[in-house]
């Protein structure tokens, strides 16, 4: 009976309610601008990848997947946060909370594995350039992307019910702006060490193993780049990988902090801003990080806009 009551009521997302009203309005408009940029930037990447034949390559196929994940991240949490920041009501339905939790766990797991796949793609491009298209053929790219999506969704199918099934003894105030697993674990009134232990155990194949694969890939890439004789060749190889290295650093620095210590009460305030960073700021930055120095994407953009290619060359220089 208690479980039925807990699964039928609403949750209250405290979010940033400790901020003064002026601070709340600043947060609202700032986050609204970032959300608009995130949606526009990632939607543009997906659109260009679909319509321009020059972007029908493995690198842009995986980038398109990353942009789709970033859209899922932001759209599953930020609109609800904006509603709560603007109005007096801070509630979210039980089902809405379940959807947010499922989306966060799925997308987080998928992105960890996808970033390792993208690192492997860069490894092949730099270390085996003559065999790149042979190795990274379309069937392999589809299998790698499918593996990332299925693994992340399977992780969420396992962890979401376990997290929501924890008894809360009537506690329904979540000290966060989103129904994220660490925040839900904190309002439980039972021993959560078994669930936290399972979270840590699953983080090994989903978070740490992909990170290790990324580090190994970039170890080989760095060794290959150092053997390149010409400065221009080294610069070109570095440009090939620099965008991905920045995205990996931004994503993993926050995800490891949040999910390798899910019940750490001392990290609640930092956790809110870290979550805001990786579900809003990082998805906003990713399209710019990947496109600012990428002539193919800029060329596709100018083509869609009907501009002359010489303008692209001038900007590239």
pLDDT at position 18 is 66
Residues 268-289, mean pLDDT to the nearest whole number: 80
Worst-scoring range by mean pLDDT, 127-141, 151-165, 185-199, 222-236? 222-236
Which among 152, 74, 76, 71 has a CA at the least distance from the CA of 110? 152
| CA separation for the pair 149, 147 (Å, rounded) | 6
Cα dihedral angle (127, 216, 69, 85), rounded to 10 degrees? -130
| Percent of the chain scoring above 70 in pLDDT | 85
In tens, the pLDDT along 133-178 reads: 999 999 999 999 999 999 999 999 999 999 998 888 877 888 888 8
| Residue 277 · residue 254 · CB < 8 Å | yes
Whether the pLDDT of residue 311 is over 50: the answer is: no
User: What mean pLDDT value characterizes the chain?
Assistant: 83
pLDDT, tens only, 26-68: 888 999 999 999 999 999 999 998 988 888 899 999 999 999 9
Q: How far apart are the C-alpha atoms of 220 and 197, rounded to whole Å?
A: 33
User: 216: buried, middle or exposed (CB in 10 Å: 19+, 13-18, 0-12)?
Assistant: middle
- Whether residue 33 contacts residue 284, with contact meaning beta carbons closer than 8 Å, is answered with no
Look at residue 128 and give its three-state secondary structure: coil
Segment 219-229 shows an average pLDDT of: 85
Kind and range of the H or E run holding 11: strand 11-13
Q: What pLDDT is attached to residue 3?
A: 45
Burial of 63: CB neighbours in 10 Å, binned 0-12, 13-18, 19+: buried
């Amino acid at each position: 009976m208690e479980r039925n009551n807990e699964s039928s009521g609403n949750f209250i997302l405290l979010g940033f309610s400790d901020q003064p009203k002026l601070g709340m309005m600043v947060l609202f408009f700032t986050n609204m601008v970032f959300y608009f940029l995130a949606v526009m930037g990632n939607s543009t990447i997906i659109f260009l990848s679909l319509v321009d034949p020059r972007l029908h390559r493995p690198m842009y196929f995986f980038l398109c997947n990353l942009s789709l994940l970033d859209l899922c991240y932001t759209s599953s949490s930020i609109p609800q946060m904006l509603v709560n920041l603007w109005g007096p009501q801070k509630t979210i339905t039980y089902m809405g909370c379940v959807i947010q939790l499922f989306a966060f766990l799925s997308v987080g797991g998928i992105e960890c594995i996808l970033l390792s796949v993208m690192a492997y793609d860069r490894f092949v491009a730099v270390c085996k350039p003559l065999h790149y298209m042979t190795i990274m053929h379309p069937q392999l790219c589809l299998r790698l992307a499918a593996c990332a999506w299925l693994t992340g969704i399977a992780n969420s199918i396992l962890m979401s019910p376990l997290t929501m099934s924890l008894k809360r003894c009537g506690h329904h105030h979540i000290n966060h702006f989103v129904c994220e697993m660490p925040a839900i674990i904190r309002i439980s009134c039972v021993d959560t060490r078994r669930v936290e232990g399972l979270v840590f155990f699953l983080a090994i194949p989903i978070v740490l193993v992909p990170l290790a694969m990324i580090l190994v890939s970039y170890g080989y890439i760095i060794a290959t780049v150092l053997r390149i004789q010409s400065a221009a060749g080294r610069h070109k190889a570095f440009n090939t990988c620099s965008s991905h290295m920045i995205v990996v650093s931004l994503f993993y620095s926050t995800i490891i902090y949040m999910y390798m210590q899910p019940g750490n009460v001392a990290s609640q305030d930092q956790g809110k801003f870290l979550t805001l960073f990786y579900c809003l700021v990082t998805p906003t930055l990713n399209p710019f990080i990947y496109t600012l120095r990428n002539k193919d994407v800029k060329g596709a953009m100018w083509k869609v806009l009907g501009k002359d290619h010489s303008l692209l060359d001038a900007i590239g220089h």
